[in-house]
Structure 1
């Protein structure tokens, strides 16, 4: 992996690593569509998709991050969001490097009494401020997490929070296709990472994707918050 100074000097675009959840993401899932159409997205093969183990997923995610040829933006869905949070809790990094940002979509509540065994195995939800700018996107009728619990997870992680209204689990069944709104959020994270790399080191930790640019309007109800 190149150094942060090299990245700033070359203006290299970050690599996007997609991280599916339980049972992976099928061909009509927006993650799969992004991988086919954007040209900057690579899936992390976490394995054991039907019976995931937290530590195994964290180890494989850590390997993918460390092997990436450029700084990375993580795009996680569902249980993949918990893998990212646990990676931050167990592995960590200096702020914003090598992970330069994360889009965390529909994290499930792994602390619920009715959570399935695979999801419950990722509990408790880590209460750690993520060492990179991040955005949590949640739906008001997600069967795996209430909107209030999703907001709480965003607060634990120091993430910006976006409420997209009633989109279920924001998956293939949500009929979002290529999910253009999600791509706008991702593009914001990428642009922010590029600009932040050119800043003096002392200014980077306060420069998230919403501090550098006007906010992106959601296609429905949106609640947003910042760190804390």
Structure 2
């Protein structure tokens, strides 16, 4: 699945990903994996989060696969809308899990600064995973975002926000979506060759 010529960047959402979160488990499991650290996980600032992502993408010449959760997904979409072509060219693909709909009526105040959500197609292969009972984004909204971003979509039954609270600590099932994404990336590379 992994390649020494690929880096994985973990992008947690609001309040970060604790030790028990699947993103933390994946960070310990995947080779060449780092976390995009934010100055303030509890009071997120879109500008700061985008700068941190841009910095990590360009921290090395190695291409990256982004693995985002919740507000991290919105950060990826909003970053991609304004990122330089050279930075976008380093991204092989993105796994976007449980995107947080920051435009929903009941959105926490701390997240509203990330609206509006970019609706532009992402210029790299993308897999979005939502849930049919996620309070942060309805399945209809998750599918809408996937369509706008040009992402393949999967809606899991009863998975909640796909975090520790919903019972997704190691989330081994999630690796299957990462494998599928990497297969699409490899197929795309072969077609270009």
TM-score, normalising length: structure 2: 0.91
Paired position in structure 2 for 1:22:
14
Matched, 1:57 2:49: yes
Return the offset for 1:195: 4.4
For the pair shown, the structure with the greater C-alpha radius of gyration is 1
Q: Secondary structure at the match of 1:152?
A: helix
Contact map agreement 1:54 1:83 (CA 8 A) in 2: yes
1:136 aligns with 2:128: yes
**Following the alignment from structure 2 to structure 1, what is the Cα–Cα distance between the partners of residues 138 and 84?**
28
Q: Is the 8 A contact 2:129 2:154 kept in 1?
A: yes
Look up the match of 2:60. 68
Structure 2 unaligned blocks of 5 or more: none
Contact 1:95 1:131 in 2 (8 A): no
| Aligned match for 2:76, one of 75, 84, 95 | 84
Cα deviation, 1:147-202, whole Å, max 9, x if unaligned, reads 1111111111111110111111000112123212211211232343344334426x
What is the CA deviation profile of residues 89-141 of structure 1, one whole-angstrom value per residue up to 9, with x for unaligned ones?
A: 11153797210100000011111122112211101111100010001100111
Alignment pair present for 1:149 and 2:144: no
Equivalences for 1:1-228 in 2 at 5 Å? Answer: 12-93=4-85, 97-200=89-192
Cα distance in 2 between the residues matched to 1:46 and 1:73: 18
**Aligned structure 1 segments of 4 or more residues deviating by more than 4 angstroms:** none
Q: Which runs of 5+ in 1 are unaligned?
A: 1-10, 202-228
SS of structure 2 residue aligned to 1:121: helix
TM-score by length of 1: 0.78
In 2, Cα distance between equivalents of 1:101 and 1:193: 7
- State the Cα distance separating 1:13 from its structure 2 match: 3.6
CA gap 1:193/1:12 in 2 versus in 1, 3 angstroms: farther
C-alpha contact 2:57 2:64 (8 A) present in aligned 1: yes
Q: CA RMSD in A?
A: 1.9
Q: Structure 1 residues 68, 109: closer, same or farther in 2, change over 3 A?
A: same
- Matched positions, count: 191
What's the secondary structure of 2:93's corresponding residue?
strand
